[in-house]
Amino acid sequence: MNPPSIPDVERPQQSPVEKSSLSMLRHVEVPDPLRAAKRRVPRPVKRVIRRAVRRYGEHTADQRTLPDFLIIGTKRGGTTSVWNWLVRHPNVAPMFPALQQIKSPHYFDIHYHRGERWYRSHFPSRAALDRAAQRSGIRPLTGEASPYYLFHPLAPERVQHTVPKARLVALLRNPVDRAYSNYWERRGSNAECLPTFEAAIDAEEERLRGQTERILADPDYYSYHHDWHSYLARGRYVEQVARWLERFGRAQLLVMPFEDLRKDPIEAYRTVQEFLSLPVVEPPRLPHHNKLPAPPMAAATRERLVEYYRPFNARLTELLGTPFDWDR
């Protein structure tokens, strides 16, 4: 039986703040008292406040900075954890407004049509950064994190045009584990209607057929399947990393295995800080975020996917000169 299809959608030409543009923003974890206080605010009031804040940010866009770094992926690869670690660094400024705890405005993948003023509205003012620099002697860095950037075919060109000197961090996870975790995350958010992981990966080729080409041909086109149902394709890292290296020098891109993050988070955090030229600090704790319980993968499925990814992993090792212990 053919899997039910979810139609790709054209981006609306106009958007009354698109049911609050913030509906597509990813948020990071906030302290419990603050989260409790935010829950008590009625939803309509929240929408009004968010729209007002975003309008203010756009009105003052000329006074705002652009990011110094981007965490570009991968999905289910540790981006939220690293972002939460970095945003707690004394020399990293949160996005604007700080109270909202935004992780990404998804500008270079989903919201590029909104323009640079809208993008700048999410970052601190230069005056605020100058004041922080006077207090600490170091100008804070700003950044954002979107795991879709790594996979989106137009993101490298857009980033190069807007922030050509930004430092880029790519976290890569064993593609078999990444795909499986991604499936269960999509099931949990009701974005996946197929009942098994095997059904989803079998349907992927048809779901994604022609989508990359259509995105490249029409930059305003948004593909639901490309964003939400790309379980196997997102794990073909060599294609994505090569695309970024066509636009940015190797020294601008830090590629870190997710497994290093799990094995030694303190050392991984140190590596990221040094890459961003941040003073190295030792945080009191480095919790992992977005952990997702899932039943064990079928052994036959794992074996099938290990073989599927083997040639892509070999090409990635050749491209980066770094071995990845994923072929088992």
pLDDT in tens, 172-195: 999 999 999 999 999 999 999 999
Torsion angle, CA of 157/154/189/259, rounded to 10 degrees? -50
Rounded Cα distance between 29 and 305, Å, is 33
**Domain ranges (residues) in the chain:** 12-281+291-320
**The pLDDT value given to residue 24:** 33
The gap between the terminal CA atoms of the chain, to the nearest Å, is 32
Tokens for 312, please give them. 């892509």
- Domain 12-281+291-320 fold is Rossmann fold (3.40.50)
How far, rounded to the nearest angstrom, does the alpha carbon of residue 98 sit from its chain's CA centroid? 18
Rounded Cα distance between 146 and 85, Å, is 15
Confidence (pTM):
0.85
How far, rounded to the nearest angstrom, does the alpha carbon of residue 219 sit from its chain's CA centroid? 19
- Mean pLDDT, range 20-39, rounded to an integer: 47
Q: Is the pLDDT of residue 38 over 70?
A: no
- Mean pLDDT, range 243-269, rounded to an integer: 96
Could you tell me the pLDDT band of residue 32, with boundaries at 50, 70 and 90?
low
Rounded Cα distance between 277 and 143, Å, is 13
DSSP 298: P
C-alpha atoms less than 13 angstroms from C-alpha of 34 in its C-beta half-sphere: 8
